[in-house]
Chain A
Amino acid sequence: MIVKDWCSYCGECAGVCPRNLITVKEYSLEFKDDECKGCSTCIIACPISALEKE
């Protein structure tokens, strides 16, 4: 997952990921990419389009 530099670390994407794969630190996002099923739920939920598939 590509995290754009305008991400504001609000955690919405982490809340909706059905597999609980996104960890939001104060100023960074971590994805467990190997378990990601590419469902795009996180991408659609982001209010400011800060996520993109690799």
Chain B
Amino acid sequence: MIETDVLVVGAGPAGSTAAKHAALGGAKVILMDKKSEIGSPKRCAEGVSKKGLKKLGIEPNSRFIAKELDGVRLVSPNGTNVWMTSEEIELPEAGYILERKVFDKFMAMDAARAGAEIKIKTMATGVIKSDEGFIVTCESMGKEFDIKTKILIAADGPESHIGRWAGLKTAQKAVHMESGIQYEMCNLHFERDGVIEFYFGSCAPGGYVWVFPKGDDIANVGLAVIAPKANKPAIEYLDDFVSKSPITKDAQPVEINVGGDPVGGMPKKIYDDHIMVVGDAAGQVNPLTGGGIISGMTGGMYAGQVAAEAIKDEDYSAKYLKKYDSLVRDDIGEEIRKYSIVQEYLLTLSDEELDNIAAEFQNVNFSKVSTTQLIKSLIKVSPKAALKLGKIFL
């Protein structure tokens, strides 16, 4: 039987980051993914903030950055625009659109360079608890084998099987799982270059439509809906949008992406004896934006660090691993909690209310673009928002 200190299941951004930090801390690490190609197919609109990458110590690399961003455009159901780009404000929130197929591979390579062993096209099919840790049953190209590990890091994305098999309640309720669908398209007619665009209202019940630019006429055009709130499958909403919007009227798809985005926040318990759950599998996603790359990697970083320390101290108990829980909740827990309240509030707004807010926003001078600043302005222009969100954000 293969034996290791730390086994990370899932080589998405969260798993690779966990593997990297555990290996840097001196642990023997195995990182596995069921895919033939890490990062592909992508299930993501690929937007990240510069600040987030910096915090994680990731140097921007032209091979995984498709486009640098210059600001934001918000569009209400009747077409009212709120522009927040360098034409309006001094410092639009700086970010990138990544090429995730390259980025995810680079993150896995970082883990390998730190010393992790990678098992590609290898799927975890079950977990058995033992006194010394977990035995994970695996399958790879017709071969079946077991891996015995002192610490198991579950980074298996929105499916979150590993945590559930280990007895944790990591599943997201259907009302908290966004159904996402996206085309990567060319021939777009952007009004301004390098702007991420968001369209709100009944075009995407429970979510929004995004247009994230990846080149002069290329973008990820997608949306997410909360299935129980929608009247039809996500793809039908997207096809409607693409056929009606002036920027996509000539656009042609070169790729279609499908996937779930868990926006219900972190479950109560994301660790136990010998196990930590990270990334989408642990609901480490901003519930308002659906962004989970940076927050998942943040979770991965802390879990990797704590795993390495636990191996050194030879203590794999839930009590020891709770440190991971405290670190990750101190860092991103409050943000997830706050944005989840805003997301629930947004769900209550009708198209008309959204149009009114967009109209009021025409008179607001935004000094910078950040989600918090936007919400503060929202509270100023809408008494309903003030009532619901005032206490948390002012």
Contacts and interface: CB of A to CB of B under 8 A. Distances in A.
Given A20-B164, A26-B34, A45 B159 contact: no
Contact of A11 (B157, B165, B227): B157
Q: Is the interface of A mostly helix, strand, loop or mixed?
A: loop
A44 B260 CA distance: 12
Contact of B123 (A25, A47, A49): A25
B258 A44 contact: no
Nearest to A47: B234
A50 to B, nearest CB: 9
Contact of A45 (B34, B164, B165, B177): B177
B53 to A, nearest CB: 25
B62 interface: no
A37 to B, nearest CB: 14
B161 A14 contact: yes
A24 B161 CA distance: 10
Main secondary structure of the interface of B (DSSP, over half): mixed
Interface in A5-52: 8, 10-12, 14-16, 18, 20, 23-26, 41, 44-49
B260 A45 contact: yes
A8 B41 contact: yes
The range of chain A's interface size is 20 to 34
Contact of B233 (A8, A10, A16, A49): A49
Q: How large is the interface on B (under 10, 10 to 19, 20 to 34, 35 or more residues)?
A: 20 to 34
Given A18-B171, A23-B161, A46-B179, A12 B228 contact: no
A20 B233 contact: no
B159 A44 contact: no
B211 to A, nearest CB: 18
Contacts of A46: 179, 233
A15 B35 contact: no
A47 to B, nearest CB: 4
Interface of A: 8, 10-12, 14-16, 18, 20, 23-26, 41, 44-49
Given A15-B171, A15-B172, A26-B36, 10 more contacts: A10-B259, A11-B259, A11-B260, A12-B158, A15-B260, A23-B161, A26-B121, A41-B174, A44-B228, A48-B181
